Chains A and B, each alone.
Chain A
Amino acid sequence: MSEASPAKAYALHLGVIALLFALSFVLPEYYHGLLARIMVLAVFAMGYNMLFGYVGLLSLGHAMFFGAGLYGAGLAIIQLGWGVPLAFLVGIACGAVLALVIGLLALRTTGVAFMIVTMMFAQVFSLLILYFATWTGGDQGQVVPQPARVLNLGATSLDLTDPTVRYMSALLLFSLVLLVTLAIVRSRYGRVLVAIRENEERTKMLGYDTFSNKLMAVVVSGTICAASGAAYALLFGYVGSSFASVQYSILPLLWVLLGGAATTLGPLIGTVFMYYVIDVSSGYTSAYLLIVGIALILLVLFFPKGILGTIRQRWLGWLP
């Protein structure tokens, strides 16, 4: 599992990236836009998977990290008038700092208590956004004006509202995070994270400082989720409090469970699958959430390890 064929794993991941690149030229307009959104949200899921899948820490508050990136980047543009690159970095930094603080506090607990503590912090975050409505726009949210969403690179300027630019930006971020995740998972640090998930007490007695390893994982996870949130604000131009609500803490959990926890490509597959089911079922009935719910129950019953987790277990043991 850990030693087999790095070349095969990297080839597969580069293949997926190439496929997504090629899809940009063949997809009809609606799906083109949808896939760009899915790729950004898959980054959110990958960040979540880092902590939930590999370290085994179930957080119910990751919306706050997505929200930190979203609001960090969005408000830097709307309130401070900063440029796109700087706003993106501000969003990521907000997520990283928040994750560090939350990690220091929440990691004093484990299991159910960790779930509750992270959920409470996310509630606080969400309520703060509503409280500071003059800045954040409250429950109405705010639109990032189109003229501000232009990336100036010397003589050329990239309009992030242009569908192709938006798609390629989303793909770039997705690819980067995917490859970083793959590298982390295959590294010695990744092996320690899995060891903590499997048996934390033993890992301590093998000489590892499990607290700081977990804290590091929370920060990496929160930072990736914030990158997704920041990209969302810049590419789709809406900064709203619903993204910091509890729903957006549960969604990444569902995407990861669907695709397969502790698989590098599972978050993408889960996110695509969920959007696909919603898309198809909403074409037939307005009660599409019922169909989504049934699909989820069936998956958990028959594929408890998720789509990719089951494939790995049955056929492709080398999948990272």
Chain B
Amino acid sequence: MTPLLATKGLSRHFGGLRAVDNVDFTLMPGEIRAVIGPNGAGKTTFVSMVSGRIQPSSGAIVFDGADITGMPAYVRVRQGIAYTFQITSIYANLSVYANVALPVQLTLRHGPSKSAIQAAVMTALERTGLADRAHMPAGQLSYGHQRLLEVAMGLALKPRLLILDEPTQGLADSEIDNFIVLVRDIARSATVLLIEHNMPVVMQLADRITVFNAGKILAEGTPEAIRENAAVQEAYLGTAP
């Protein structure tokens, strides 16, 4: 099986800082992959290069067998790579409905009717539990609901690869439980790449975990293997066995 996403020797330097340093990474279709690591390990820089927001200093990115290294971000989105922002980035002045209609009308661009847009928007809002807030201005949603709206916008793109950058940051425990159910649901139709600090969430969701440290991949494996990995414990969890 060809990997959905692969990077070869991917690097990004900011001046003298090697934020991401020669990373070889492979992601199979249908996986839920968590990327963890201490702050400043290069996780967000890495997914930003995958989504096209940042250009790599060197290396290559291959998506579904095709080299996308030089492809502009908006084309990658159309190819099926959706990115949800770490810092909530919604259209605060527009209605929740309009926020989701924007990605929907892109995926339906071959002769979408008004009713087709409406149906697709409401589907995405129902999956994230925001349907009854469709006509509120997005800026008036609670923080947790704004995070969910980010995910709904990502979902509406019907991605093959959905990148979630710290989606549970700032969520209440009850919201996190619902979120885990939601990501499992999403994973039935898309591959999920999840940057996450909340370890219980990672352990419950991830099929495999990739650990970043100082711009490099420190370890990769199943949640159990990572939990037992001494190097990871030292670098990330900070507790020697």
Contact = CB atoms under 8 A, between A and B. Distances in A.
Interface stretch (A107-115, A129-137, A205-213, A280-288): A205-213
Interface stretch (A152-160, A187-195, A246-254): A187-195
B95 A1 contact: yes
B11 interface: no
B98 A191 contact: yes
A198 B94 contact: yes
Contact of B74 (A191, A195, A210): A210
A182 to B, nearest CB: 17
B235 to A, nearest CB: 31
A185 to B, nearest CB: 13
Interface string B85-99: 100011111110110
Contacts of A195: 91, 94, 102
B85 A202 contact: yes
A205 B102 contact: no
A173 to B, nearest CB: 30
Interface of B: 51, 53, 72-74, 77-78, 82-83, 85, 89-95, 97-98, 101-103, 105-106, 112, 153, 157
Nearest to A194: B94
Given A191-B101, A195-B102, 10 more contacts: A1-B95, A2-B97, A3-B97, A188-B105, A201-B89, A205-B53, A205-B74, A206-B102, A206-B103, A207-B103
Contact of B157 (A1, A188, A207): A207
Contacts of B112: 188
Q: Is the interface of A mostly helix, strand, loop or mixed?
A: helix
B97 A202 contact: no
Nearest to B53: A205
A208 B106 contact: yes
A191 B109 CA distance: 14
A169 interface: no
Contacts of A206: 77, 102-103, 106, 153, 157
Contact of A205 (B83, B94, B95): B83
Contacts of A208: 74, 102, 106
Contacts of A205: 51, 53, 73-74, 77, 82-83, 85, 89
Contacts of B91: 195, 198-199, 202
A1 B157 CA distance: 23
Contacts of A164: none
A242 interface: no
Nearest to A212: B74
Interface string A1-40: 1110000000000000000000000000000000000000
A2 B137 CA distance: 12
Contacts of A199: 89-91
A123 interface: no
Contacts of B101: 2, 191
Contacts of A310: none
Interface in A178-230: 188, 191-192, 194-195, 198-199, 201-210
B106 A202 contact: no
B73 A202 contact: no
A191 B95 contact: no
A203 B77 contact: no
A91 B14 CA distance: 50
B198 to A, nearest CB: 23
Contacts of A191: 98, 101-102, 105
A2 B77 contact: no
A252 B85 CA distance: 37
Contact of B106 (A3, A194, A207, A210): A207
10 contacts: A1-B95, A3-B97, A195-B91, A203-B102, A205-B74, A205-B77, A205-B89, A206-B77, A206-B103, A207-B74
A7 to B, nearest CB: 14
Contacts of A192: 102
Contacts of B95: 1-2
